Amino acid sequence: MLVKIYEENPNFREVAKVVEILKNGGIIIYPTDTVYGIGCDITNSKAVEKIARYKNIQVEKSNMSFICSDLSHLADFTRPIPNNIFKLIKSYLPGPFTFILNASSNVPKYFKGKKKTVGIRIPDNEIILEIVRQLGNPILSTSVHDEDEILEYTTDPELIHEKFGDWVDVVIDGGFGGNIPSTVIDCTDNEPVLIRQGKGELK
């Protein structure tokens, strides 16, 4: 199913339909402020496993991150954050950044394994933020990759639907996506470390 939702004023009914799909264990493809993402409700282990199988990875060894609607989720899924790190995160979110943080015991067990960290995203995109708000908890985030040798990410939602429509429950058309991923910063220690330079520019 391909659903058109406008970022300027996301249609409440269309968002509610997507949220219902997520609550029922569905998988969605959605726009962010960088590339299109594949996601599901982080509390649904079967949906998480389905995404992991598709990407041929083990959940506990994956680098999939959580999309949150605001900074209040940090307290839910991460250990206490030093003030300097919290100020850094606050100054860059919402935005095209993924912050790697120490995971709390609230992170579903199947994500952790030997890993004690979690990636947190708050994209500057009202469509996905409204979906997460209505759902009431974060959704899983992993990028939609392209098999093209030059373009790493598929940017056209209609092409994404052609490719993934039989596998996911809904593709949200929020306009053309970008092809530069988020900037990844490791904040598990007192000093942040740049892991991947993406769209987000550190000042």
Q: What is the pLDDT of residue 150?
A: 46
Q: What is the pLDDT of residue 115?
A: 67
Is CATH 3.90.870.10 what the domain over 2-196 is classified as, yes or no? yes
Q: What is the pLDDT of residue 133?
A: 95
Per-residue pLDDT of the chain (203 residues; tens, 9 = 90+): 899 988 888 988 999 999 999 999 999 999 999 999 999 999 998 999 888 888 777 776 667 789 999 998 888 889 999 999 999 999 999 999 999 999 888 888 777 666 688 999 999 999 999 999 999 999 998 888 655 544 556 788 998 899 888 899 999 999 988 888 999 999 998 889 999 999 999 87
Q: What is the pLDDT of residue 111?
A: 72
Calculate ∠ Cα 23-5-94, nearest 5°: 80
Q: What is the pLDDT of residue 194?
A: 95
Buried b (16+ CB within 10 A) or exposed e, 58-76: ebeebebbbbbbeeebbee
Q: What is the pLDDT of residue 61?
A: 64
Q: What is the pLDDT of residue 164?
A: 86
Calculate ∠ Cα 37-40-42, nearest 5°: 120
Question: Which distant-in-sequence residues (6+ apart) come within 8 Å of 150 by Cβ?
Answer: none
CA nearest neighbour of 97 among 77, 81, 121? 121
Taking the model in full, what pTM does it have? 0.90
Q: What is the pLDDT of residue 114?
A: 60
